[in-house]
Amino acid sequence: MKFFVDTAEIDEIRELHELGMVDGVTTNPSLIAKSGRDILEVTKEICALVDGPVSAEVVATAADAMISEGRKLAQIASNIAVKVPLTWDGLKACKVLTGEGKMVNVTLCFSANQAILAAKAGATFVSPFIGRLDDINLDGLDLIADIREIYDNYDFDTEILAASIRSANHMSDCAKIGADVATAPAKVIKAMASHVLTDKGLTAFLADAEKAGIKIL
């Protein structure tokens, strides 16, 4: 499973990239606003840092305007994936932009039916939102499993990009189900390294080393 980091913070991306933990980046207007920087400027910097896809989201809602914005975003770098919402207009924009050879990430997917439409429209990625479904007492992981089954049934090329990930457990669960990509905040990716028994074992080892006077340097 590929890891995308869901952020517009350059330092977070750089740290994970240096460890080989980043295969791509996802951004959205909220993340760009949080960074306090110009969308074109920060997106260009991210694209120069990361080789993989960098999702940059349109802000228009009508198909023609989305297409125009998508074309402008795609000019930033060759690894831009234009991010459009899973609306009827978004699907129209997806069809046109993918037809022009651009990567498209269809976001805000909350049902298997929507995911089927995204694949039919030629989406490079579809982004089902796990956490937001969990917030309304639905199991977001069930949606990932449903999409995986449907896409495998028909050999759709669209990659499942699990989004709205809230915990390290979400990451491993998505991997078990077969999501192609999971995008998460840097803190969630880092949390995957944590385990209480690791901490407990390390404390014991260090205490024993101190008692035995063990030194390496």
Backbone angles phi, psi at 48, to 5 degrees: -75, -25
pLDDT at 176: 98
Q: Is 190 a catalytic residue?
A: no
- Specify the CATH number for the domain of residue 125: 3.20.20.70
Residue 205 lies in a domain: no
Average pLDDT, integer, range 190-214: 95
The per-residue pLDDT for 34 is 86
Q: How confident is the model at residue 202 (pLDDT cuts 50, 70, 90)?
A: very high
In-domain check, residue 19: yes
Please check whether residue 126 is in contact with residue 151, taking contact to mean a CB–CB distance below 8 angstroms. no
CB 190 within 8 A of CB 203: no
Instruction: Specify if 94 maps to a domain.
Output: yes
Q: Are 125 and 105 in contact (CB under 8 A)?
A: yes
| Domain assignment of residue 196, yes or no | no
- Domain assignment present for residue 9? The answer is yes
How confident is residue 188, by pLDDT bands cut at 50, 70 and 90? very high
pLDDT band at 159 (very low <50, low <70, confident <90, very high): very high
Residues 6+ apart with CB under 8 A from 87: 61
The average confidence (pLDDT) of the chain is 97
- Per-residue pLDDT tens digits for 30-57: 898 888 888 899 999 999 999 999 999 9
Residue 69: pLDDT over 90: yes
Q: What's the pLDDT score for residue 136?
A: 97
- The one catalytic residue in 83, 102, 120, 200 is 83
Answer yes or no: is 24 within a domain: yes
Domain containing residue 113: 2-190
**pLDDT grade for 106, boundaries at 50, 70 and 90:** very high
Would residue 214 count as lying in a domain? no
Structural domain count, the chain:
1
Residue 68 confidence (pLDDT): 98
Examine residue 97 and state whether it is found in any structural domain, yes or no.
yes
